[in-house]
Structure 1
């Protein structure tokens, strides 16, 4: 009896995918020219290299790549097109039948010149259209707050998520570059509102930050899930807390290598073995397949072929992803 290889797995779920990093260079190029944007380079092939990662670039350089990506994706029409095309491609080519796409509407408003409601609604309509084409495909939108934003701006994003929670917004994220002046205190009240409204809450932490910050996140904000969270492997008490409170890690293997959050495959093997030993719940995700030059099947294939996970462990992670999705 033949056993399935990782790339043959079906019914995959990706819970941590930034739409900014999930669009092909060809589409980005077309969108930029349709909008009359002046790009930093005139040659298409030079542009294509600038919106995908070759080698390992480091965390800060990686985040800078998002500035151009989000600027190109900053019209309601563009978001409608991408919100339909990205899940469609994932379903047709990678057999992903559940995808949670996240984006920051404020970073697409061109400094307030574009209405946030238009950006959000057009995105939701694009996701809905993708699901209409493929009834088995389940999609949801996570709106991202940002560490660089003042509390009143992040509050607006939460307000919008609540406003559209019955139309396809399923949760809230906190992302953005590490800022030494950032405080989680103003986010505590927002987190309580998010939980009270029945929306999911996921926080980027433990990727470029340490276990101390993760402790602050889990105790103050009480997230349902954590984006990345690999720093927890250095704190047994934190791993016990994550296990006991069923806080699920959204791990992104290739992304962690390319941002140098994880040094190499040996360190990655240690990380996952430690999570398994301490029974910390985790899922496998891409972070953004185009920017990372990966796919979700390739993520599983890498982990299995390098003896980081067994096939059973990979299947368990994928099953968990379906179970803890914010999509009702």
Structure 2
């Protein structure tokens, strides 16, 4: 009896040691894979300029312009432009209000784009970068000339590219709150500066904040999208983040974008996923951002979402949506997805390769 007891104890001990060795091996493997991303040339194709400049730089830009801020205390200001916890979609978007105000001058946009592009390369080895912003929302209700704003933004980007081996381009954004004419102006400016580094157009904006955004339908900007496509600009649309699959269907059927910002609602609709796959419409997924907006409940929900996309061969990329505002980085997103077993190293490499491939920089022009 004692012999069998010792044998069981010995067997249990051996299993424990085997499991411990396996855990150590897996930990070392994850550390190795995480370190691998340090040297990998990354592509970021969904990040907002308003969320890509550090609070310190925003503070300096604001004071250089003599802007009156909500507080004179820097640390309180930092909290106003930083997302520390999940707050929901509308509260998330409200952070843009202050950053857009601070970036509402030609000089501010020059510094913002130069800083964002430079930081992307220095901090994350991002060599393909698309920054998006809305010039009308930075015009102080028409006080600022749009051409000045756009040209200075381009020049800031160009200066950064002179310093670092990064290929960058700008996407001009339409808005759900805008009139058709305002959205047409965005496209006209994108076309005008296509040869200078404007590479595409986007649609974004709050869904419920104004009456115009509540009644907006993607087909309302069909003429704008057709004009952009006619001039070989890339087209991407924010949809399927907190909007329903009904809107995603309307976007896919009417606007036929090259890419979709977020788009994770598609995982509830198999037919829609098959359409995205067949038309090769690429999703610009932003994992941590979707936790902040509560589009994703938690890591388990995130894991299930990506699993569903992979099972249906829906093409997707990994992005931040805006690193500074969320205190994250693109490299950190890759590491987080790997360490939480959301995606494998191979799947992450595939996503990064796809981001380089589908970048609108292939359509637009840069120095």
TM over 0.5: yes
Does the 8 A contact of 1:9 with 1:297 survive in 2? no
Is 2:304 the partner of 1:275?
no
Is 2:223 the partner of 1:189?
yes
Is 2:324 the partner of 1:284?
no
Is 2:182 the partner of 1:153?
yes
Which of structure 1's runs of 4+ aligned residues deviate more than 6 A? none
Does the 8 A contact of 1:229 with 1:250 survive in 2? yes
Structure 1 window deviating more from structure 2 (77-86 vs 151-160): it is: 77-86
Does the 8 A contact of 2:219 with 2:251 survive in 1? no
Aligned pairs for 1:108-257 within 5 A = 108-134=138-164, 136-178=165-207, 179-257=213-291
Does the 8 A contact of 2:219 with 2:250 survive in 1? no
Does the 8 A contact of 1:100 with 1:140 survive in 2? yes
* Secondary structure at the counterpart of residue 91 of structure 2: helix
* Secondary structure at the counterpart of residue 194 of structure 2: coil
Between the aligned partners of 1:210 and 1:300, the Cα distance in structure 2 is 27
Between the aligned partners of 1:76 and 1:83, the Cα distance in structure 2 is 11
* Aligned-residue offset at 1:185: 2.7
* Secondary structure at the counterpart of residue 171 of structure 1: strand
Name 1:55's counterpart in structure 2: 85
Does the 8 A contact of 1:104 with 1:144 survive in 2? yes
Does the 8 A contact of 2:236 with 2:257 survive in 1? yes
Structure 1 window deviating more from structure 2 (181-190 vs 247-256): it is: 181-190
* Aligned-residue offset at 1:9: 4.4
Number of residue pairs the alignment of both structures matches:
327
* Aligned-residue offset at 1:149: 0.3
Between the aligned partners of 2:39 and 2:274, the Cα distance in structure 1 is 30
Between the aligned partners of 2:158 and 2:307, the Cα distance in structure 1 is 38
Q: C-alpha root-mean-square deviation of aligned residues, in Å?
A: 1.2
Cα deviation, 1:63-117, whole Å, max 9, x if unaligned, reads 1110011000000011111111111111011111111000000000000010000
Structure 1 window deviating more from structure 2 (144-153 vs 36-45): it is: 36-45
Which of structures 1 and 2 has the bigger CA Rg? Answer: 2
Specify which of 62, 65, 74 is matched with residue 35 of structure 1: 65
Instruction: Give the alignment's TM-score, normalised by structure 1.
Output: 0.98
Does the 8 A contact of 2:38 with 2:124 survive in 1? no
Specify which of 13, 21, 24 is matched with residue 51 of structure 2: 21
Between the aligned partners of 1:220 and 1:227, the Cα distance in structure 2 is 16
Does the 8 A contact of 1:7 with 1:298 survive in 2? no
Name 1:311's counterpart in structure 2: 345
Cα deviation, 1:2-50, whole Å, max 9, x if unaligned, reads 8542642421000000010011111111111111111111111000111
Structure 1 residue runs of 5 or longer lacking an equivalent are none
Structure 2 residue runs of 5 or longer lacking an equivalent are 1-27, 208-212, 363-367
* Aligned-residue offset at 1:233: 0.3
Aligned pairs for 1:64-83 within 5 A = 64-83=94-113
